[in-house]
Amino acid sequence: MIIKKNCVYLHFIIINKKYTIVLRKRMTIRCLSFALMLGALLVSGAGGRVYGQDGQKHLDLLMGLDMNYKDIDYVRQYDILLRVTPGFKWEMGNHWQLAGQALVPVFNQYGDAYGRIRLGMLDLSKQFKLGPIYAKGSVGFFSANRYGIDLKAFLPVTSWLALEGEWGYTGRYLFDGHFYASPIARHTGFIGGDIFLRRWNTQLRGTLARYIYTDWGLEGEIMRHFAHSTLDLYAQWNNKIGLNGGFKVVVMLPPYNRSSRFVRIRPTSHFTLNDRIKYTDYGSRTYLTDPDENIREGWFDNDLLRWGANAKNTVFSTKERRAE
Amino acid sequence: MMRRLCFLTVAMLLTFAAAAQQWTGTSGLLHVPSADMSAVGELRVGGHFLNKAMTPDTGFIYLGSKYHAYNYYLSVTPYRWIELSIVSTARKNHPGDQLFEGYGGKDRHVSIKIRPFKEGKVLPAFAFGFDDAGTTIFNSKRSDVQLYFSNWYVAATKHFDLGGNQLGLHLSYRHFYRGYNAKWNGMVGGITFSPSFLPQAHAIVEYTGNEWQVGLDAVVFKHLMLQASLKDFKYLNAGLCLRFDLN
């Protein structure tokens, strides 16, 4: 077996039989727990305690742009990685969703490792409501090369105050023609709160988080929302990086009034520019579970939860279906 | 006839009111700040050619002589009282003992402008701000960092309507942190003029504390803003930016 950087290649070459048996046991236990959690998530819609609202059924074929840049070179301004992100979102009704996304490099100065088409995301999600808490569970392959299970929860206390949290239990994977994955063994997540100031259409957010490279830190954000975009200024303290900060510009992409057809072809909902003062590959990193996930819209469909900037006006709407 | 047609074409292209663009990406004059602010939700992405007469006398020297540089920026006005900009100014590097002709490096800085008092019927608008603000305000060991563009200022602006023509008077006090920029310290200011037949274009004359600078700016095709100026009446600086309304 080839062990490299905490990753286990699945095209096995057995060298050490004893270690392989131990690892198989650990993998079996983790796979079982993974399957149990998947099963729990799948049956959660059948119980009488879940009150998820019906969502419309759509199959969205998506195309987006993923722009990355870093300033670590003396001979050029930036190293740039530009990728297009074809994908799909199958909204199956009752807030079940299957989503997938590929990362196709168009311009790459990040090195050969990023030069191949790779899987960006393939996961199953379910949004539901448990009492006053809105929740979203996901299983599968997420962005940032993480796979496993993820649970998000959002509690709107008032129209201007909310608490939120996320827990993930994941391992690392890479699928770019070859597939390899490490065991699911890492807990990540955050707890935090949001204050929405309606008069200024501004959201304050504070979180305490454990990130995917086991670093942890605090983050404070000020988000200024506009009709179709959000500006986000943030400051971070991380136990490995120290103080950092930056800004995000989130631009929601048209069409804002979407078709009511079952199959729709559209761009991803947003383009996000994220600029940090200190660049680092391994600090304050998180993953996404939805190709359309962004700080402007939050985690939930608008027919399930409308809070903050979405409470009054939503960015996207769907045309009414014509009478048969 | 042809001249009239050309004039009408240019007049039709000029749309939207435009505050003068500054080399920092924020609103202002040419090389002098003002108390003007962009509209709320305005986002600008642009670049500017900086003549070597415009750059500091330190930090922009390659093989013993100053060179022309350029910058690029992203600026935004999230609220009507604050304007933020992040600017990267391209520099030539000396990686180790090697010489590299291209603009491989850059100096990044943040500009902040705050306007506590907007312009009234009688009183002018007042604003204050910082360029290279991240290190100016927060860094305690100033000697350890480069502060090529670091300065603070207070500014006042008053506009007058002269039969549809707009006349703007701008006065500022500015102080650069580094001594090699001291020539631009002190009282600075200028005049802007927008004729009634081209209200979206500005003619600008300013005194930078060391020399005079004249220029023009205008917005064309709704989103494209152009500016050109002559420092000391002979050194060309020019730039363009795309403007978007986030509302």
Task: Report the 10 Å Cβ neighbour count for A249.
Answer: 18
For residue B140, list chain A residues with Cβ-Cβ distance below 8 A.
none
Contact B100 A77 (CB under 8 A): no
User: Residue A233: inside a domain, yes or no?
Assistant: yes
* Predicted confidence (pLDDT) per residue in B104-154, tens digit: 888 889 999 999 999 999 999 999 999 987 654 444 455 556 788 999 999
Task: Residue A46: give the domain boundaries.
Answer: 3-318
Domain count for chain A, please give it: 1
Rounded Cα distance between B238 and B85, Å, is 18
Q: Look at residue A152 and tell me whether its pLDDT is greater than 60.
A: yes
User: Residue A296: inside a domain, yes or no?
Assistant: yes
**Lowest mean pLDDT segment, chosen from A37-51, A99-113, A118-132, A277-291:** A37-51
The closest alpha carbon to B241, from B231, B229, B227, belongs to B227
User: Residue A60: inside a domain, yes or no?
Assistant: yes
* Predicted confidence (pLDDT) per residue in A299-313, tens digit: 999 889 999 998 888
Q: B111 near B137, Cβ under 8 Å?
A: no
Contact B246 A247 (CB under 8 A): no
pLDDT at B134: 63
Contact A231 B246 (CB under 8 A): yes
User: Residue A157: inside a domain, yes or no?
Assistant: yes
First to last CA, chain A: 60
User: Residue A323: inside a domain, yes or no?
Assistant: no
Please give the residue of chain B at the shortest CA–CA distance from A277.
B108
Task: Report the 10 Å Cβ neighbour count for A125.
Answer: 22
Of A75, A231, A275, the CB nearest to B104: A75
Contact B102 A228 (CB under 8 A): no
Rounded to the nearest angstrom, the minimum Cα separation between B146 and chain A is: 15
| B138 Cβ contact partners less than 8 Å away, ≥ 6 residues apart | none
Rounded Cα distance between B139 and B117, Å, is 28
Rounded Cα distance between B54 and B66, Å, is 10
Domain spanning B11-245: which superfamily? monomeric porin ompg (2.40.160.40)
User: Residue A24: inside a domain, yes or no?
Assistant: yes
* Predicted confidence (pLDDT) per residue in B72-89, tens digit: 999 999 999 999 999 999
Of B43, B86, B102, the CB nearest to A75: B102
For residue A227, list chain B residues with Cβ-Cβ distance below 8 A.
246-247
User: Residue A324: inside a domain, yes or no?
Assistant: no
User: Residue A228: inside a domain, yes or no?
Assistant: yes
E strand segments, A157-185: 161-175, 179-181
Task: Report the 10 Å Cβ neighbour count for A269.
Answer: 23
Contact A231 B74 (CB under 8 A): no
Q: Domain ranges in chain B?
A: 11-245
What ipTM, to 2 d.p.? Answer: 0.84
